[in-house]
Structure 1
Amino acid sequence: MRPMMSPPLLSPSPCSLLRFLRLCHAPRRRNPTAAPPTPYTFRRRPLLLLPVAMSSSASITAPNSVVADPSALARKVAAIRAAGPSKLQVIADFDGTLTRYWYDGARGQSSHGLLRQGNEEYDAKREALYEHYHPIEICPDIPLPEKAKLMEEWWEKTHGLLIEGGLTYEAIKKSVSDAAIAFRDGVVELFEYLEERDIPVLVFSAGLADIIEEVFRQKLHRSFKNIKVVSNRMVFNEEGRLVAFKGKTIHVLNKNEHALDMAAPVHDSLGDPNGSIDDYSLVKKRTNVLLLGDHIGDLGMSDGLNYENRIAVGFLNANIEKSLKDYSKAFDIVYLNDAPMRGVVELVSELCP
């Protein structure tokens, strides 16, 4: 669905624009558990490159951010700020967006990848599927329609193995406890800031909702009443054994707001006594969107909205040399090399001071 046409926007004041551009230069703390990937070095500068930070180590450079069209971004910031927080919602991917790409020197696990069924045969079968399909997922040369079919094939095979292998909810809890997964630095601050302003957050994921909610429970140790999870949701029998999945399969290239019927407030699972802050049927009336993703396919998460203004923030964690051009065209801001979430926190503070 095409976005609604925005009314003519007033140019942002010089002071506001300068504040926004300064946030892109603000120093960021180095992620202590991130692996030291070789930072991307630009040979040419066709885009506006806004360095985020420099490590004290000569061999490690903290991530850079890329803004291809700073004037367009400034106009969107001014429009969303003028409309106020009651018109804003945040739509975020989970794996590789809210979570870190690197963890203790190795690739961090996804909500699918961390799962151990307690059955080595089926764990090995799912790992074999990953080895086959993951290179397809990250390959920038495969056309999106062809890639989407292959991703659906991967997800359905994986879900079938989980059912066939007798996954239990107890196995999920143990898997999360043992997992190499962590949220990006700044995620808690972002959620707290949004919660204080009653701004809903829709967490869209091609992973597994039951696992994501368990990650929230174990890794953040608190609930956020403004968060809903839209992901593949499991059905367990009375013995706690997986027997089915609900609804349409959500994979990395088909996430959008038409899957809202699969969402569940995180606070419901965590026992938040305060209830939901918002009727989520009203989410679609929030016509300004801040979208966070690590895959160009994540842009489809807002397809169900007639939004007026959308700021798309991309996290480009791998294949930077091949993918930067496409990401810089697709996203308003691109953060490179597993950047922390603190730049987004600063951006939100500009949108909703």
Structure 2
Amino acid sequence: MRPMTSPLLLSPSPCRLLRRLFSRAPRRRNPTTPRPLAPHLGRRLPLRLPASMSSSSVGTPDSVVADADALARKVAAIRAAGPAKLQVIADFDGTLTRYWYDGSRGQSSHGLLRQGNEEFDSKREALFEHYHPIEINPDIPVLEKAKLMEEWWGKTHGLLIEGGLTQEAIKKSVADAAIAFRDGVVELFEFLEARDIPVLVFSAGLADIIEEVFRQKLHRSFKNIKIVSNRMVFNEEGCLVAFKGKTIHVLNKNEHSLDMAAPVHDSLGDPNGSIDDYSLVKKRTNVLLLGDHIGDLGMSDGLNYENRIAAGFLNTNIEKSLKDYSGAFDIVYLNDASMRGVVELVSDLCP
């Protein structure tokens, strides 16, 4: 859906983030600063902007902004509107969570699941091997691909039910998983919670697993966070028997799916504890979107936003993908960066 237009507002004084962006030229990261690296990389990559990128591009050791003027205008407009108009939309895997874990590729919330039944785990892996190439094939029309993704998710969910997935298996899977949140995620959530800014975490995975990751890895809850994902139904014995509502897959995880949302905490900051009406969220027409794939930009579909700042995490294949990412996102955080750059950004949006 096309964004609503609004007049651009200029801040009387530049925010800290933009002062830093305008004052720094691209340079190498301090070699003493640790950086998660892929096992096959033998060296740290300096920040090298593609030759075709605008000469006005600016960067920091951990991030790149291709159009600082456009970002400055968006920051000023969101600051002027105030936190009551802002919402945060975030992908989960590879965005809130780290891409690398102890030197290896971290697990996704879906990939970490073990049913406790090797036969059905193998069947789900076979489905991945068949459908994942379809998912990433750019030559397949979107409508055709959407039907195939619906088919993939349906078969996977059927195997989880047939294989007897239990709540205990989910807890054990998360406890044994190679998954961790980015440094700075707690600070970001605390900052947003203190200002009653809702956070919608969109995922094509499983809400019950993501909530368990929150419980085990963060050891606390946040009343302003909702998980928009596929939700399971368990019987009294703790066995999976069904899934709620429509299926959310990689091509439809956006604000059209808010009917699937459920809070990590019991409420979304509503003093009456009511979370049935999402019209208040939809009236927040300024958006900070966090994702690690260009396709994550579609998470704001279904919202008539006035201003959107899209922050992307480019975790690997930096030199190959930087041009595309910097053209799609307002700011790109590089090399599996921490969440602290986003914390700085939101503190500029809501001083």
Q: What are the ranges of 5 or more consecutive residues in structure 1 without an aligned counterpart?
A: 53-63
Q: Which deviates further from its counterpart, 256-265 or 109-118? A: 256-265
Within a 5 Å distance, the mapping from 1:177-192 to structure 2 comes to 177-192=175-190
**In 1: Cα distance, 2:144 partner to 2:33 partner:** 38
**In 2: Cα distance, 1:344 partner to 1:16 partner:** 17
Secondary structure, aligned partner of 1:307: coil
- After superposition, the Cα gap between the structure-2 partners of 1:164 and 1:87, relative to the gap in structure 1 and judged at 3 Å, is same
**In 1: Cα distance, 2:199 partner to 2:242 partner:** 27
Read off the aligned partner of 1:84 and give its amino acid letter.
G
Select 2:60's aligned residue among 23, 29, 51.
Answer: 51
Checking the alignment, whether the CA contact within 8 Å between 1:226 and 1:276 is kept in structure 2 is no
Select 1:228's aligned residue among 226, 229, 233.
Answer: 226
Select 1:172's aligned residue among 162, 170, 173.
Answer: 170
Partner of 2:247: 249
Partner of 1:124: 122
- After superposition, the Cα gap between the structure-2 partners of 1:66 and 1:351, relative to the gap in structure 1 and judged at 3 Å, is same
**In 2: Cα distance, 1:327 partner to 1:141 partner:** 20
- CA RMSD in angstroms, aligned pairs only: 2.9
Select 2:89's aligned residue among 83, 88, 91.
Answer: 91
**In 2: Cα distance, 1:79 partner to 1:37 partner:** 43
- How far is the alpha carbon of 1:234 from its aligned partner? 0.7
Secondary structure, aligned partner of 1:231: strand
- After superposition, the Cα gap between the structure-2 partners of 1:260 and 1:18, relative to the gap in structure 1 and judged at 3 Å, is closer
Checking the alignment, whether the CA contact within 8 Å between 2:58 and 2:68 is kept in structure 1 is no
Read off the aligned partner of 2:301 and give its amino acid letter.
D
**In 1: Cα distance, 2:273 partner to 2:20 partner:** 35
**In 2: Cα distance, 1:80 partner to 1:312 partner:** 13
- How far is the alpha carbon of 1:303 from its aligned partner? 1.2
TM norm structure 1 = 0.86
Read off the aligned partner of 1:215 and give its amino acid letter.
V
Checking the alignment, whether the CA contact within 8 Å between 1:50 and 1:65 is kept in structure 2 is yes
Read off the aligned partner of 2:10 and give its amino acid letter.
S
- After superposition, the Cα gap between the structure-2 partners of 1:302 and 1:192, relative to the gap in structure 1 and judged at 3 Å, is same
- After superposition, the Cα gap between the structure-2 partners of 1:228 and 1:30, relative to the gap in structure 1 and judged at 3 Å, is farther
Identity, in percent, stands at 80
Q: Which deviates further from its counterpart, 129-138 or 96-105? A: 129-138
Q: Which deviates further from its counterpart, 150-159 or 287-296? A: 150-159
- How far is the alpha carbon of 1:108 from its aligned partner? 0.6
Secondary structure, aligned partner of 1:267: coil
Secondary structure, aligned partner of 2:252: coil
Partner of 1:238: 236
Checking the alignment, whether the CA contact within 8 Å between 1:20 and 1:350 is kept in structure 2 is no
**In 2: Cα distance, 1:336 partner to 1:33 partner:** 11
- After superposition, the Cα gap between the structure-2 partners of 1:276 and 1:30, relative to the gap in structure 1 and judged at 3 Å, is farther
**In 1: Cα distance, 2:114 partner to 2:143 partner:** 31
**In 2: Cα distance, 1:51 partner to 1:233 partner:** 39
Checking the alignment, whether the CA contact within 8 Å between 2:193 and 2:222 is kept in structure 1 is yes
- How far is the alpha carbon of 1:276 from its aligned partner? 4.8
Checking the alignment, whether the CA contact within 8 Å between 1:140 and 1:323 is kept in structure 2 is no
Within a 5 Å distance, the mapping from 1:1-353 to structure 2 comes to 1-7=1-7, 9-13=8-12, 15-17=13-15, 19-22=17-20, 35=38, 38=41, 42=48, 44-45=50-51, 46-47=53-54, 48-52=57-61, 64-138=62-136, 144-145=142-143, 147-268=145-266, 276=273, 280-353=278-351
- How far is the alpha carbon of 1:342 from its aligned partner? 0.7
- How far is the alpha carbon of 1:157 from its aligned partner? 2.3
Checking the alignment, whether the CA contact within 8 Å between 2:90 and 2:201 is kept in structure 1 is yes
Q: What are the ranges of 5 or more consecutive residues in structure 2 without an aligned counterpart?
A: none
Read off the aligned partner of 1:339 and give its amino acid letter.
A
Secondary structure, aligned partner of 1:16: coil
TM norm structure 2 = 0.87
**In 1: Cα distance, 2:201 partner to 2:290 partner:** 9
Read off the aligned partner of 1:80 and give its amino acid letter.
I
Checking the alignment, whether the CA contact within 8 Å between 1:116 and 1:172 is kept in structure 2 is yes
**In 2: Cα distance, 1:311 partner to 1:93 partner:** 14
**In 2: Cα distance, 1:100 partner to 1:332 partner:** 21
The number of equivalent residue pairs is 338
